[in-house]
Amino acid sequence: SNPPLSDQRAVPCMVMRGGTSRGPFFLESDLPTDAMERDRVLLAAMGSPDPRQIDGLGGAHPLTSKVGIVRRSTTPGVDLDFLFAQLQPDNDTVDVTPNCGNMLAAVLPFALERGLLPVAHGTTTARILTLNTGMQCDVTLQTPNGRLQYGGDARIDGVPGTASPISINFLDTAGSVCPALLPTGAPLDRIAVRGADFEIDATLIDNGMPMVLVRASDFGITGYEPAAELTSSVELRARLEALRLAAGPLMGLGDVSAKNYPKMCLISAPRDGGAVNTRCFIPHVCHDSIGVLAAVTVATACVLPGTIADGIAATQPGVRQTLSIEHPTGEFSVELELDPNNPGQVLRAALLRTARPIMRGEVMIPAHF
Ligand code: NQM
């Protein structure tokens, strides 16, 4: 459908909000098959690299520099394959190694809108395979009378208003990118940060997202500061980055200087009745709320004995727990089901998101890019 009157290339896409993230979603068949050529198209579509992304769709923030690519799955038992790509405003990376649970929430609505799957009556459930790490989940949408319903009463902090609930059930998140849930084998490590010359306690953990959890107080902050204030602290960012670079190899991730993980999370005691309070760096900017799999990973640390959350987090006993993770703009509730025979083992994580198409059409790719 290239308009003959233009030298630009038109690529069909829908701009979707998924949870607290936003970005264009593409059918895999609408993008170049060659990965390098595909990445060049994605960079041009988003307007990266440029801090303002003025020549593209990006929103000048990592949370609005995300792309979803979807296809019907050929894996038995799986309905849809999802590839997530993290771009950045200020560099030319297209990272398909991490997961994103927020963009994941928009996959099924997009697939139904584009006719990849039929809409059922009442609710529609699909199994989605995230190709980035091989993680599977079941997602359920409200589809009364066989029609997608975006309006509803569900509220998620970090997004204004209310919308129809989308439930996500994660089936196998432990060690998504790292070799294991606790990649060093220990719930708590004392890490010597060479060069920066300090030692610090940290929990290195991956239950869907590789993360380094530290006490906010060990960084001389309360942990309740606004996200923008923490992002603008040059010294805090330098210390967190030095720790991140030291943690990468310990987590089996190698040199992480050019990677978007591990994410850094400063934790402190809850103060609004939740399980724990958080400030996450993703990894260089403080998140305005918290990532989906980041919340699952933090919640998991709260129920594991001996982690950095021990003595800080407020948890209840029981094999089914709802943990409210406090963050800069509210809270994120994660329901965990623990193995009754091995309480350190999380069998299932469930949570609620909302999502919606914002625009559908074609993104225009310049002739020379
Ligand atoms: O943890 C931000 C987000 C995310 C990732 C980030 C996410 C997740 O909020 O599953 O969703 O950590 O870069 O979208």
3-state secondary structure the chain: CCCCCCCCEEEEEEEEEECCEEEEEEEHHHCCCCHHHHHHHHHHHHCCCCCCCCCCCCCCCHHHCEEEEEEECCCCCCCEEEEEEECCCCCCCCECCCCCHHHHCCHHHHHHHCCCCCCCCEEEEEEEEECCCCEEEEEEEEEHHHCCCCCCCECCCCCCCCECCEEEEECCCECCCCCCCCCCCCCCEEEEECCCCEEEEEEEEEECCEEEEEEHHHHCCCCCCCHHHHHCCHHHHHHHHHHHHHHHHHCCCCCCCCCCCCEEEEEECCCCCCCEEEEEECCCCECCCCCHHHHHHHHHHHHCCCCCCCCCCCCCCCCEEEEEEEECCEEEEEEEEEECCEEEEEEEEEEEECEEEEEEEEEEECCCC
Q: Report the distance separating Cα 19 and Cα 352, nearest Å.
A: 9
What is the CB neighbour count within 10 angstroms for residue 333?
17
Who's near 35: CB < 8 A, 6+ residues apart? none
Residue 1 Cα, ligand 1 centroid: separation in angstroms?
34
- Which residue's entry shows tokens 């790719």? 365
CB-side neighbour CA atoms (13 Å) of 284: 13
Give nearest CA residue, ligand 1 atom 3: 291
Pocket test for ligand 1, best of 102, 156, 206, 298 (most atoms within 8 A of CB): 102
Q: How far is CA 158 from CA 87, 137, 288, in A?
A: 21, 23, 7
CB 294 less than 6 A from any atom of ligand 1 = yes
CB 209 less than 6 A from any atom of ligand 1 = yes
For the chain, the average pLDDT equals 96
% residues pLDDT > 90 (the chain): 93
What pLDDT, in 10s, does the model give residues 80-111? 999 999 999 999 999 999 999 999 999 999 99
Here the ipTM equals 0.93
Residue 124 Cα, ligand 1 centroid: separation in angstroms?
24
Whether the ω angle into residue 262 lies within 30 degrees of 0, i.e. cis, is yes
User: Can you tell me which atom of ligand 1 is nearest the CA of 66?
Assistant: 14
Q: What radius of gyration, in Å, describes the C-alpha atoms of the chain?
A: 20
Residue 241 Cα, ligand 1 centroid: separation in angstroms?
18
Residues paired with residue 321 on neighbouring β-strands, in sequence order: 336
Q: What is the pLDDT of residue 3?
A: 56
Residue 271 Cα, ligand 1 centroid: separation in angstroms?
23
Q: How far is CA 221 from CA 214, 266, 294, 315, in A?
A: 12, 9, 21, 23
Q: How far is CA 130 from CA 22, 134, 256, 298, in A?
A: 17, 5, 22, 20
Whether the ω angle into residue 76 lies within 30 degrees of 0, i.e. cis, is no
Q: Report the distance separating Cα 329 and Cα 158, nearest Å.
A: 6
Q: What is the pLDDT of residue 369?
A: 76
Residue 368 Cα, ligand 1 centroid: separation in angstroms?
32
Type of residue found at 82: F
User: Can you tell me which atom of ligand 1 is nearest the CA of 19?
Assistant: 14
Give nearest CA residue, ligand 1 atom 4: 291
CB 142 less than 6 A from any atom of ligand 1 = no
Residue 5 Cα, ligand 1 centroid: separation in angstroms?
40
CB 101 less than 6 A from any atom of ligand 1 = yes
User: Can you tell me which atom of ligand 1 is nearest the CA of 18?
Assistant: 14
Q: What is the pLDDT of residue 236?
A: 97
CB 297 less than 6 A from any atom of ligand 1 = no
Residue 146 Cα, ligand 1 centroid: separation in angstroms?
31
Q: What is the pLDDT of residue 68?
A: 99
What pLDDT, in 10s, does the model give residues 314-358? 998 889 999 999 999 999 999 999 999 986 789 999 999 999 999
Give pTM, 2 decimals.
0.94
- Name residues of the chain where pLDDT drops below 50: none
